[in-house]
Amino acid sequence: MSIKSEVMRYPLTYALILLSVIPYLFSAFSSQDLVDMDMETLVNMGALYGPYVVGDGEWWRLFTAMFLHGGMTHLLMNMFSLYIVGRGAEMYFEKNAYISIYLFSGLIGGLVSLFVHPGSVGVGASGAIFGVFGALAGFFLAHRDKVATHAKAFMKDFSIIIGINLVIGLSIPSVDVSAHLGGLAVGFVGGFVLSKNPKWIFAYSAAMFAVMIIMGRFLSGEYVSTLV
């Protein structure tokens, strides 16, 4: 299969990879380092930082932080993970379902991260990627009687991704495992529900918006005491 046909077959996955690579190049230029990004640069570009997100109302950072990475290892491992699970998601889910799961997993994963580590700087697509992985798990659970052979390949990918993220979590201080777990849960629910009926995309999206609003209000009310 040629590169062009590969990209045409999985356009969303490659678009998401590109949307992470381009900001990384900008952050590397600003940091004057291709391997390790300057933390101040990441914050200026939209990294998660509780005092800004909750304290100053810069909720847009939940979105921008998904496309920033703390270093070359962080970026490469995340993009490799996305390459593995993203193509599978494009095969099994409609495009709007895939992108909704990706975004909501990343956004809610970011909120979970703010709750667990209110004063830390966080970046990365891991929460969203774990959401896509969770979506595949939900899909296989929903159709376990029909896709038993594919489930074995999925478990192999699971082992690879878990191993990758253990390395990331142990080697990069700006990576937050809590965001991974939050994204995984959001993706699993979305994958299970939307594989049952893709028309439930609006109900799923509305439910995730509601979850975000509730979490945001809770964080706003508890943030000061959490920091103390």
- pLDDT tens for 116-130 read 888 888 899 989 999
Query: Residue 173 has what pLDDT?
Result: 57
Query: CA-to-CA distance for 96 and 147, rounded, in angstroms?
Result: 23
- Region for 58 from its dihedrals, namely left if φ exceeds 0, alpha if ψ lies in -120 to 50, beta otherwise: beta
- Please tell me the predicted confidence (pLDDT) of residue 203: 96
Other Cβ atoms within 10 Å of 46 Cβ, number: 20
Fold of the CATH domain 3-223: Rhomboid-like fold (1.20.1540)
At 24, the amino acid letter reads Y
Run means of pLDDT, 10 residues per run, the chain, 228 residues? 80 96 96 91 94 92 95 90 90 94 97 88 91 90 72 66 64 68 94 93 96 92 61
Q: pTM for the full model?
A: 0.89
- Angle of helix 177-196 versus helix 126-142 axis, rounded to 10: 40
Predicted pLDDT of residue 120: 85
CA nearest to 68, candidates 97, 46, 88, 83: 46
Annotated catalytic sites, by residue?
126, 180
Q: What is the pLDDT of residues 134-161, one digit of tens each?
A: 998 898 888 877 766 666 666 666 667 6
User: Which pair of structure tokens corresponds to residue 148?
Assistant: 């038993």
Give the pLDDT of residue 179.
86
pLDDT of 73: 86
